[in-house]
Chains A and B, each alone.
Chain A
């Protein structure tokens, strides 16, 4: 696990001095997708790499142990074996970065992963996800319970009341949003966040991770996200320790693209195992 953010003295002037040239950010965001197209075997390799960044997520009201089990199996075997063999990637141990579930399902996830012999972390959302409007006492208790059950990563919902009144907290990773808002991970927001990460690194030497979540569905999108991180922060951040993509259906679209690359055909829905 990467070193934790040791934290710094809270210096509010860092925040008040920030200026964002919004129109310029929008222009750069527009160009992202067109700027670095990735084709052929590069695309296949990038997509497999994108898989290793995914926090395979299920956050539905009707989650039960059976769909958790399916999810965990998919996390361990995200791409069909024969497709990986065709790319000579079957022995690289490609799995997703983590699975991400509600606190009550952590136990099921841990059990399911153990059953398939996969040691990727279980991440739990906590702290009154997604609105964060619960008492501090219960929020802390949630975290404790999730960790007790075996979660090794926690997606914390920040207290927006505090943010809007200018009271800040520190973290190891910053995430675009819960993924449950109307507007979630967009490129302009991401650019601003990535620049903030870069500035923080230049000032303190600490590397903070980045996780976009919500609305990332297509393989093409994932390539744009990888390219964005590569351009703004560089190759050092293209590791699961510093970059995660919170997604659920993205994986199947990536699998379809890989299928197309290997076979030259477009897969039917039933050709690939569901997650």
Chain B
């Protein structure tokens, strides 16, 4: 009765008890590719588009190298067409009531549920990831994301009353992304009323499938548009009119760093190696494997890394049931890598784990925080208090305690440092795609004439400009750094004119060294300020408010010299005092927030007192220390306030540096150890700030040369200020004994 079989028969398996393959058929994926005649174009405005005269790139199975389809490479016109479609769709999509958008997103989730087998099969086939991971993880989470954000859309009118959707969102994805990464970004964008143009690397069919599923849902075909093309089209996408924001997702290497306390090192390594031995590698579509292959390039990267690590003195352990041929690479454990070696600093590629020992929790924290990466981490300890303390101290976006990799749409996911500063998921994630209602649309303002090398490099010399006049005594001369007034490094000054053409006073000419000193002072004050209770922060802000009240006449007379009428000057002082008190009260009411660190603020020229205070207060209220460049027109107001800060505030909490604004802006923007930069100045300055801050990916907020109504509640003291002054962190602590 039994037919002769080529493979091992029951008899042999009975003895060896090997697992055997559990293959999932990928016929449905191939059938879908056949519907496109194995040539994938772009999906724009609800239709497939296959423009002619385009290059194409093969899409290959990473395990076998077999060609699955060809994918067209877009050109600039295709990007423009997609942006146009998204813009048109935005007009109707954003006007819909939130409940209607919610319905649409729910329907999209159901469509994904109906076609989930096709989705996970295609994704596993093309990326080589274990099908189990995609089936049980990615696809389920994608549906949950849609459902969660549908609810957010539903309640948008009440919950997000003062906010409106930004516009068209451009999304640029790297070659190693998963379609789940795309969903994390698309769902909040769509929920709040934005539309999306996604630029995916060619040879990524899954986003196209997703766009098709969304497009066929009707009646809003243009809300998700996908074009496949090279990353060089990124600037084209960013400069399309109507594209208000470009979300860029960088490539994730996928390896891990493991820090193990010395006392449990042996045990941990033994168990880890035992577990590694049980891992099975194979074709992603095999339901019984733990890991697939990610293509020859990934394999070569891993191999190079391991070889280099070995040459730098590391021990390498490899195990697992892995087919010998390319492109499979076994799970690898690297230990004894000297901390100063290049491999210890570089990103760890998949599927490598680098293990290092540590002695104390403090050392572990220093090791973990000592890289530019700040994505996520997990802490494992039976001592909960210690685990929580480490969790708080780690400079990452997400911390899991006694667990790893848990994700939920309601919990924000993001990072810090060079893992970027954007957040997805949870209520906070929505703000990425919102702006305060009534904000003018962002016009493309990139000036081709801006010379990044020379902007703010040279400080024009300032010469003495006549006698200082005025009845009020001049404020102490110098830069306010580290709690006291100091002379500038350059030992020179600049004159400040009043509204009547007379010399109001001289202020110090600050330079790069002074900025450096100011940032250092701010860092020194940072940890104790962050540890202050909300009540203590409130107390300091209220103390400053009281001091300014006492100083009212001096401040008002300075404002008068700048051409402000006495009545308006008094009103400005009063409003500044009120704002300080309001932010102080909010600091106490909202409890402990997570500070960014050192915040650099370049104040606008107008409203020299009010804007200064309006920016200072939220920054301090959220636990940051600040370096401020006051109004260029009249920095003397700020220096008046510094006199009170000198007596009331801890040293380094607030540092004020006067001088040439462009030069100081340049120094701040290029500084790698500032955690955020707010710039209220010229359009050119804004452009420079955004360009230069990419060095350490610090979040920036620029005015693009547009004026801001500081005296109005919405713009001078609105929730946007508070949101930008703090960051989020997710801490997971599964319960259960």
Contact = CB atoms under 8 A, between A and B. Distances in A.
A44 to B, nearest CB: 5
Given A41-B13, A45-B14, A88 B132 contact: no
A23 B403 contact: yes
Contacts of A88: 2, 9-11
Contact of A238 (B17, B22, B403, B736): B17
Contacts of B18: 42
Contacts of A131: none
A136 interface: no
A86 B10 CA distance: 10
B77 interface: no
A42 B287 CA distance: 14
Nearest to B18: A42
A45 B22 contact: no
B136 interface: yes
Contacts of B737: 22
Interface string A11-41: 0000000010111101100000011111111
Contact of B17 (A34, A40, A45): A45
Contact of A46 (B17, B270, B290, B382): B17
A40 to B, nearest CB: 7
Given A37-B22, A40-B20, A45 B10 contact: yes
B14 A262 contact: no
B382 to A, nearest CB: 4
Contacts of A202: 270
B737 to A, nearest CB: 6
B458 interface: no
Given A19-B382, A262-B1, A41 B7 contact: yes
A27 B570 CA distance: 64
Contact of A36 (B9, B14, B288): B288
Interface in B447-501: none
| Band of interface residues on B | 20 to 34
B288 A86 contact: no
B513 interface: no
Interface string A35-71: 1111111101110110000000000000000000000
A179 B380 CA distance: 35
A24 B403 contact: yes
B550 interface: no
B736 A23 contact: yes
A69 B113 CA distance: 53
A116 to B, nearest CB: 23
B8 interface: yes
Contacts of A45: 10-14, 17
Contact of B19 (A41, A42, A262): A42
A23 B14 contact: no
B13 A46 contact: yes
Contacts of B132: 34-35
Interface string A63-94: 00000000000000000000001111100100
A245 to B, nearest CB: 15
Given A23-B734, A86-B1, A202-B270, A39 B11 contact: no
B307 interface: no
B136 to A, nearest CB: 7
Interface string B1-45: 110010111111110011111100000000000000000000000
A238 B132 CA distance: 26
Contacts of A39: 20-22
Contacts of B10: 41, 44-45, 48, 87-89
A262 B1 CA distance: 8
A36 B270 CA distance: 23
Contacts of A260: none
A231 interface: yes
A256 B11 CA distance: 19
Given A26-B736, A34-B132, A89 B11 contact: yes
B20 A27 contact: no
Contact of B20 (A26, A42, A86, A262): A42
Among B10, B22, B287, B403, which residue has the most Cβ atoms of chain A within 10 A?
B10
A253 interface: no
Contacts of B8: 41
Given A22-B737, A34-B132, A45-B14, A27 B288 contact: no
A235 interface: yes
A37 B20 CA distance: 9
Interface in A84-124: 85-89, 92
Given A87-B2, A262-B1, A49 B270 contact: no
Interface in A197-242: 202, 226, 230-231, 235, 238
Contacts of A262: 1-2
B287 A49 contact: no
Nearest to A85: B1
Contacts of B161: none
A224 B2 CA distance: 26
A53 to B, nearest CB: 11
Interface string B223-235: 0000000000000
Contacts of B13: 41-42, 45-46
A89 B20 contact: no
B697 to A, nearest CB: 33
A37 B290 CA distance: 12
A88 B18 CA distance: 18
A271 to B, nearest CB: 16
B5 A21 contact: no
Given A41-B13, A87-B11, 14 more contacts: A19-B382, A21-B380, A22-B736, A34-B132, A34-B136, A37-B287, A37-B288, A41-B8, A41-B10, A41-B20, A42-B13, A46-B13, A49-B17, A235-B17
Interface of B: 1-2, 5, 7-14, 17-22, 132, 136, 270, 278, 287-288, 290, 380, 382, 402-403, 734-737
13 contacts: A21-B380, A23-B734, A36-B19, A36-B22, A37-B22, A37-B287, A39-B21, A41-B20, A42-B18, A42-B19, A45-B13, A45-B17, A85-B1
3 closest Cβ contacts across the A-B interface? A42-B20, A45-B13, A23-B734
